[in-house]
Structure 1
């Protein structure tokens, strides 16, 4: 008899603890994401940089605007696979950019293009190699969360090449040139780009707060149900 009564109480406590822990976890995630989004918003208000950011200063200058002169290498471009836009699968187009000064090259992300259902058919992404000025915002290369697919195989000497969450070291081997350890999101007002709706590639703090409210709300509903059931049980025993 006692064990039968204890089981619902134990189940209630376990479920309540789980819901509260999920809510607290979402609050922690919101607190972790807030500085990143603050940095993203403040980056657009700071003056544009006119010299490349050295690799060791990347984190402090993430999302800063950068203006540079140089030329694209249209013959050796990269298609970053598994990039989703409005529910559609596609690629981010990474084009090597040779600066007029300095040895290291910069990877310019010219935006998102839709993937063909036949993954062997690659998008047309040719671009003029004339000297130009570009402007964009600094960001790290995407890192994998859950890999839902694999990149299509490439011929070793065929371009563009499809890559799946590569490291800078891997890209330097492919391209045969030294690279800065970040990409540049090409500004939407500049030509020769594709779909460009740049924002941090992670859930916003507000979304985490929304989920936290949901978990805490469910915990509140659970407590209310337990109280109602408890009161009802007491009344029945009293009768």
Structure 2
């Protein structure tokens, strides 16, 4: 009878809630460790890329995913078309990334010209002067960047073909629709150049691996603390 009475008062609902929380915290901890590992691999990949010679455009196209962060060169010509990617911060100031289509023998390559501060009203885009070809082809050098779409940002600019175009994110599929032509599946981030006012300080990752490790330790610590408190409360309950 004493055993039945003890089982009757066992906190089943609380136990389910606690263990569900523990599973979630452990999952988040291991996820942060996974992100740390991914960032470490990315850093190693970047260091490897720095040791390599500048790649040609067809070489990059042959295996784009492998050449992320590598330096490459391309020859072609600009059009007067410009895309402004909104809500980009630099030094705490709001601004835009300025992208321009670059016509090459291998397709249209989107070139990130750099960052410029937004000093005007909301939606007002600063004027940018593209390099003049003067009848000759232009040779560009930059870093290969494969953009990833942000699921939390929804593009609203449906005025296809109207330029300059203001976009909420760097979405190559959307850019293709605006240009009414396919573009190559990566962006060339131009190298720094003193002859332009555009800022070219490319941030590879928003969070360093050490930060992910710190978050993982926090989640594991919370899981241990939660389990300890729960076991102590059970012991007091049964005493």
TM-score of the superposition, structure 2-length normalised? 0.77
Q: Distance in 1 between matches of 2:25 and 2:51?
A: 40
Match of 2:96 in 1: 91
Give structure 1 stretches of 5+ with no counterpart.
none
Say whether the 8 Å CA contact 1:49–1:67 is kept in structure 2: yes
Segments of structure 2 that go 5 or more residues without pairing to the other structure are: none
Q: Which residue of 2 aligns with 1:79?
A: 84
Deviation (angstroms), 1:49: 1.4
Per the TM alignment, residue 53 of structure 1 is displaced from its structure 2 partner at its CA by 3.6
User: Which of 138, 141, 145 is equivalent to 1:135?
Assistant: 141
Equivalent pair of 1:139/1:183 in contact (CA under 8 Å): yes
Q: CA distance change for structure 1 residues 152 and 10 in 2, over 3 Å: closer, same or farther?
A: closer
Q: Is the 8 A contact 1:64 1:137 kept in 2?
A: yes
TM-score, scaled to structure 1: 0.77
Report the equivalent of 1:213. 217
Alignment of 1:1-239 (within 5 A): 2-7=7-12, 8-73=14-79, 75-86=80-91, 88-99=93-104, 102-116=105-119, 118-130=121-133, 132-147=138-153, 150-151=155-156, 154=159, 156-157=161-162, 159-165=163-169, 167-175=171-179, 179-189=183-193, 191-192=195-196, 194-201=198-205, 203-229=207-233, 237=239
When the two chains are superposed, the root-mean-square deviation of aligned CA atoms in Å is 3.2
Work out the CA distance in 2 between the residues paired with 1:3 and 1:126: 78
Equivalenced residues, count:
230
- Determine if contact 1:127/1:192 at 8 Å carries over to the other structure: no
In structure 1, C-alpha distance between the alignment counterparts of 2:155 and 2:181, rounded to whole Å: 25
- Residues 103 and 178 of structure 1 are in contact (CA less than 8 Å); yes or no, is this contact kept in structure 2? no
In structure 1, what is the Cα distance between the partners aligned to 2:46 and 2:186?
15
Find the aligned partners of 2:93 and 2:235 in 1 and give their Cα distance: 52
SS at match of 1:211: helix
